[in-house]
Amino acid sequence: MTETLSASCVVVGGGPAGMMTAYLLARAGVDVVVLERHADFFRDFRGDTIHPSTMQVMLELGLLEEFLRVPHQVVTHAELEMAGERLRVADFTHVPTRCKFIAFMPQWDFLNFLAEKGRAFSSFHLLMEAEARALVRENGRVVGVRARRPSGETEIRAPLVIGADGRQSAMRDDAGVRARDIGAPMDVLWFRLSHREREHHAVLGRIEAGQALVMLDRQEYWQTALIIPKGTLDAVKALGLEAFRARIARLARRDDADDIRSWDDVKLLSVKVDRLERWHQPGLLFIGDAAHAMSPIGGVGINLAIQDGVAAANILADPLSRGGVTERDLARVRRRRWLPTCATQAIQVAIQNNVISPVLHGSQALRVPGVLRLAQRWPVLQRLPARLIGVGIRPEHVRTPARSPAPS
Ligand SMILES: Cc1cc2nc3c(=O)[nH]c(=O)nc-3n(C[C@H](O)[C@H](O)[C@H](O)COP(=O)(O)OP(=O)(O)OC[C@H]3O[C@@H](n4cnc5c(N)ncnc54)[C@H](O)[C@@H]3O)c2cc1C
């Protein structure tokens, strides 16, 4: 038998976009159900960056002080080693927000924090191990979602379904919408390297002809990314694990990379850059990666997802608490977030085409681009990339009221 629940809004996906939207809507008194297919937030690595703009949102919510008690690392600068030269590319110490740094925090700690704060509101309902399987439609309008839970089938009916189910969005498939593929020349292999003594750099990119390595300092280990030409994982594997380890050891300037015990320790991020032209249908809205998968350049996917959540809640909390949203309301969310999405993707694609592609496909010696040289001579120029990464274009601010009792 199918259990039936009802709410004012169903959010499919408990990632950064879904959890932020649900938290803000619940705080504004909107009855919201979040469906997350996993039993918890502990998953493979998928980015640990908390941006200054997210911490600004936390400040506006009165949660910053407590949030910063969650263990994290403070990153104030990003550096690159190119053609043997050490270059500083971004200086976060001047971004126009309270926190002038990027916090490195496991994504599950961030999501658990939001979940715990959300649960303090009676209007916040987080259903874990609840996999949305299909949209429910009536008279050409989405009126809910059917989900599979350990207890059986559940139908959750609501005037609005928000698809925040990530880049492989099943809700998007069910709605029959297709994202426009903008393309990416690379894939990323993620793995961990143990920390060695006397190594201390918070973020380090290392670019050589034909390859690029990014190392994120997680204190006990380096979260490391090898950027490879798109679709070449099989070719990398064909050379054998020993050759891969030797390649990584050389690039990471260490004696060995024996921390990589098998290919199971190496995770592929198949890089995608895409976006929906239309983010909504009657009763349905897509946000976050489900609306626009970002390139990993700059590590801004989480930031954009959260900003979408803030914008969606700002625009929709009022109509939802009055009992219904119109297509015009949904179109306003897309309009609000269109410029930051397209402009950020355009910058990423320009870097992909002008820096990453030539590096990956070139075998000649690399030369440091003029703009990076200028940024070494005039460090003030390092503030621009920091602002784009840390704050982004058209940052969102919390406008939703706190109608539900404040979390204790
Ligand atoms: C390996 C890797 C490294 C990354 N590194 C960074 C980084 O350093 N910085 C950065 O900013 N971004 C990074 N990203 C991108 C970042 O993870 C995403 O941009 C961001 O998480 C998007 O948030 P979201 O909430 O839109 O989607 P997601 O985080 O993908 O969340 C979607 C959620 O929906 C759930 N879900 C999916 N389908 C269903 C369903 N049918 N029913 C119920 N639940 C469902 C999923 O379990 C998931 O929890 C990385 C991504 C990967 C894969």
Give the Å distance between the CA of 308 and the centre of ligand 1: 13
**Cα-based angle 385, 388, 392 (whole degrees, multiple of 5):** 170
Provide the pLDDT for residue 408: 53
Which distant-in-sequence residues (6+ apart) come within 8 Å of 372 by Cβ? 80, 82, 87, 89
* Ligand 1 pocket mutation, candidates 46, 105, 172, 233, criterion most atoms within 8 A of CB: 46
**How far apart, in whole angstroms, are the C-alpha atoms of residue 73 and residue 202?**
8
Hunting for tokens 């309008």 — which residue is that? 141
Q: Which of 389, 392, 299, 291 is nearest to 21 (CA)?
A: 291
Which pLDDT score is estimated for 331? 98
Instruction: Please list the rounded mean pLDDT of every run of 10 residues in the chain (408 residues).
Output: 93 98 98 96 81 98 98 91 87 97 93 97 97 97 97 97 96 96 93 77 76 84 92 95 95 91 94 96 98 94 97 98 92 98 96 87 76 93 96 97 70
Is the C-beta atom of 301 inside 6 A of ligand 1?
A: yes
Q: What are phi and psi of 210, to 5 degrees?
A: 90, -10
Predicted pLDDT at 12: 98
Measured in residues, the chain has a length of: 408
pLDDT score recorded for residue 354? 86
Q: In this predicted structure, what is the pLDDT of residue 405?
A: 66
Prediction pTM value: 0.94
- How far does the centroid of ligand 1 lie from the alpha carbon of residue 250, in Å? 31
Ligand 1 center to 151 CA (angstroms): 26
- Going 334 to 339 to 343 to 344, the CA torsion angle's sign is negative
Task: Please give the distance of CA 96 from its chain centroid, rounded to a whole number.
Answer: 21
| pLDDT for the residue numbered 396 | 98
289 C-alpha to center of ligand 1: Å?
7
